[in-house]
Amino acid sequence: MTLPHRLPIQGRIHNRVSDDTVSRPTPRVRSSRRSSPDAAFPTGVIRRRRWERSYAKSVAASDVLVIFASVFTGQLVRFGPGYAPVQTTTISRLSYSVVSVLLAVAWLMVLSIFRSRAVGVIGRGVEEYRRVVSGTFWLFGAVAIVSLLLRIDLARGYLLIAFPLGLVALLVNRWLWRQAMVRRRRADHCLTAVLVVGPSSLVKAMVRCFDRHPESGFRVVGACVPGAARPPTGGICVGDREIAVFGDENAVFAALHSAGADTIVVTATAELGNRGVRELAWSLEPLGVDLMVAPGVIDVAGPRLQMRPVAQFPLIHVGPPQYRGAQRFNKRAFDLVFVIAGLVVVAPVFLAAALAVRLTSDGPVFYKGERIGLDGKAFPMFKFRSMVVDADKQLALLVNESDRGMLFKVRADPRVTGVGRFLRRYSIDELPQFLNVLRGEMSVVGPRPPLRCEVERYDGTVRRRLLVRPGITGMWQISGRSELSWEESVQLDLAYVENWSMVQDLVIILKTLRAVLRHEGAY
């Protein structure tokens, strides 16, 4: 039953007998008495809804064009431009043109049923692609069943062209729209304005995370910090940005309008309490404001997190990391298949790079540097030599130029040769690491391979990077490469170790190809 919007929710809750009557401050709720439903929406919600609806309509229109083009292309390729009757014993005078129209309409309906164009899905993560694929396969099965029941003999060639072509075209269409959305978000358009309710440390962490991934579209525009003064006396500085603080956890609704936010992220669940979070959710519902609750578990996500209601109490189950047993065997099998296939493909580039290094500078073709791998074991990591022969002896002269902690890397390194600079720009110098993968010392995807001097300074937390084999590429490779600080590199590596999955490896490999072609952060 929908609660009346005019009545203060908090007042009714206090009159109920509840098992969570802990004395904690709860948000003060003031309901609007405006007659128009839309008038009660905050400015940020109205702005977000406009671009979300516009984006969803554009995606839907392009889906219509893609699906109709795919099914009629299948018909044209299979039967040509003339009239093509369907062989059936139950329906008379049925042509493939009618079948194509019905199939296209059914396809669009299935995509709507699977909510592949829901505003919370499109442009966010792989869930959008999963729903498109699931809906398409479901439709393919439904067509097979209906054809069997109605004794309609649909040409296999027609279906084998229309469905794969349509599925690929739909995925490409969604990807193109997503890239357009990413460009708009990088230009500060189509953003989700977030108000964070929680301590300043978590506000800073969230700001850094969102700023590092602008393609996500989330932007922190304000905060309500427990214990903060009302009215606020200052903000939270994160780099060159200052996040306004609008008071404590009881100032949420005033801050919502002042900051122009459309989404609230709660990290201060202890301060609000169970009842406070519940009342906040009820109060935000008529305003159209999204509410998210951060679980407080850092660097753990994906398949390791599962929501398990126990005795009507929602609990988040954190599963163990997947770097042991059968999962390690699967990863090793994938590495071998990928590397063997990759060596066949890049063999010409491999030989050309080796020849260029040998002819342009004195010294060996390969550089062998000691790295620390799985369980702290040392191994020689192979690379095409991109520096002069005595580069290690000149290291002491350059150390002072780096202010990035243990991650030593400088721009315009004078030790790099001309050919070496080109090899580094496109990561060709790392191709010999495929040999390390064959030897079982590295993986295709994993943490950055560390030096011995780095490992000697590791604390107990950072040493968890050694629980898996280091990788040719990884989260660090697609998130800035040489532009990353030491702390950012460690955080990305630990997040990978804690949340490894085969799907994540495939995504990282695809993003690595894009990063290499754009030579982002490489020097």
* DSSP sequence for 212-240: H-GGG-EEEEEEE-TT--SS---EEEETT
In sequence order, which residues have a C-beta less than 8 Å from that of residue 241 and are 6 or more positions away? 207, 211
Residues 241 and 127 in one domain: no
In sequence order, which residues have a C-beta less than 8 Å from that of residue 81 and are 6 or more positions away? none
The token duo for 350 is 């491999």
Residue 291 — left, alpha, or beta (φ > 0 → left; ψ -120 to 50 → alpha)?
beta
Helix axis angle, 252-259 to 43-79, nearest 10°: 60
Quick one: average pLDDT of 493-500?
79
- Does position 32 have pLDDT exceeding 90, yes or no? no
**Residue holding tokens 């040719």?**
472
In this predicted structure, which of 55-69, 105-119, 300-314, 418-432 has the lowest mean pLDDT?
Answer: 300-314
* pLDDT confidence bin for 437, thresholds 50/70/90: very high
- Does position 356 have pLDDT exceeding 80, yes or no? yes
Task: Let me know: does 131 contact 114? Beta carbons within 8 Å.
Answer: yes
Q: Is 0.75 surpassed by the pTM of this model? A: no
- Does position 55 have pLDDT exceeding 50, yes or no? yes
Alpha-carbon separation of residue 421 from 195, 382, 414, 480, 483 (angstroms): 44, 17, 10, 18, 17
Distance separating alpha carbons of residues 493 and 501, to the nearest angstrom:
14
pLDDT tens digits, residue range 220-272? Answer: 999 988 887 766 667 888 888 888 888 888 888 888 888 888 888 888 777 77
Residues 353 and 462 in one domain: yes
Choose among 296, 307, 335, 300: nearest CA to 321.
300
* DSSP sequence for 412-469: T-TTB-HHHHHHHHTTGGGTTHHHHHHTTS-EEE-SPPPPHHHHTT--TTGGGGGGS-
- Let me know how long the chain is: 523
- Examine the fold and report which residue of 186, 221, 238 is the final residue of a domain before the chain moves on: 186
Q: What is the mean pLDDT of the chain?
A: 79
413 class by beta-carbon count within 10 Å (0-12 exposed, 13-18 middle, 19+ buried): middle
Residue ranges in 93-126 assigned as alpha helix (H):
96-113
Q: Are strands 192-197 and 263-266 parallel, antiparallel or unpaired?
A: parallel
Residues 455 and 374 in one domain: yes
Considering Cα of 283, then 286, then 289, then 293, what sign does the dihedral take? positive
Residues 433 and 339 in one domain: yes
Quick one: average pLDDT of 4-25?
36
Distance separating alpha carbons of residues 490 and 496, to the nearest angstrom:
10
Residues 389 and 276 in one domain: no
Task: Answer yes or no: is 15 within a domain.
Answer: no
- Does position 37 have pLDDT exceeding 90, yes or no? no
pLDDT at 325: 53
Q: Which residues span the domain enclosing 245?
A: 191-294
Choose among 166, 191, 180, 169: nearest CA to 71.
166
In this predicted structure, which of 310-319, 392-401, 471-480 has the lowest mean pLDDT?
Answer: 392-401
- Does position 7 have pLDDT exceeding 50, yes or no? no
- Does position 313 have pLDDT exceeding 80, yes or no? no
489 compared with 223, residue with greater pLDDT: 223
Query: Total structural domains in the chain?
Result: 3
- Does position 521 have pLDDT exceeding 60, yes or no? no
Task: Let me know: does 52 contact 217? Beta carbons within 8 Å.
Answer: no
Q: What is the 3-state secondary structure (H, E, C) of 251-311?
A: HHHHHHHHHCCCEEEECCHHHHHHHHHHHHHHHHHHHCCEEEECCCCCCCCHHHEEEEEEC
Number of neighbouring beta carbons within 10 Å of residue 23: 5
30 compared with 47, residue with greater pLDDT: 47
Q: What is the 3-state secondary structure (H, E, C) of 360-373?
A: HCCCCCEEEEEEEC
In this predicted structure, which of 170-174, 238-242, 481-485, 494-498 has the lowest mean pLDDT?
Answer: 481-485
Residue ranges in 313-372 assigned as alpha helix (H):
325-360
Distance separating alpha carbons of residues 228 and 230, to the nearest angstrom:
7
Residue 342 DSSP one-character state: H
Task: Answer yes or no: is 387 within a domain.
Answer: yes
Task: Answer yes or no: is 305 within a domain.
Answer: no
Task: Answer yes or no: is 24 within a domain.
Answer: no
In this predicted structure, which of 438-442, 457-461, 516-520 has the lowest mean pLDDT?
Answer: 516-520
CATH number at residue 270: 3.40.50.1980
Q: Which residues pair with 194 in a beta bridge?
A: 220, 263
Task: Answer yes or no: is 404 within a domain.
Answer: yes
Residues 156 and 203 in one domain: no
Distance separating alpha carbons of residues 65 and 81, to the nearest angstrom:
19
Task: Answer yes or no: is 320 within a domain.
Answer: no
The secondary structure of the chain in percent helix, strand, coil, rounded to multiples of 5, reads: 55, 15, 35
Residues 268 and 178 in one domain: no
- Examine the fold and report which residue of 152, 171, 186 is the final residue of a domain before the chain moves on: 186
Residue 520 — left, alpha, or beta (φ > 0 → left; ψ -120 to 50 → alpha)?
beta
Residues 507 and 407 in one domain: yes
Residues 230 and 127 in one domain: no
**Residue holding tokens 């692609």?**
129
Task: Answer yes or no: is 35 within a domain.
Answer: no
* pLDDT confidence bin for 344, thresholds 50/70/90: very high
Task: Answer yes or no: is 39 within a domain.
Answer: no
Distance separating alpha carbons of residues 449 and 293, to the nearest angstrom:
35
Q: Give the CA dihedral 395, 399, 404, 407, nearest 10 degrees.
A: 20
Residues 338 and 446 in one domain: yes
Alpha-carbon separation of residue 110 from 61, 106, 134, 150, 360 (angstroms): 15, 6, 10, 20, 60
The token duo for 323 is 């770097």
Residues 165 and 253 in one domain: no
Residues 492 and 381 in one domain: yes
- Examine the fold and report which residue of 144, 161, 186 is the final residue of a domain before the chain moves on: 186
Considering Cα of 187, then 188, then 189, then 190, what sign does the dihedral take? positive
pLDDT tens digits, residue range 183-207? Answer: 888 888 888 899 999 888 888 888 8
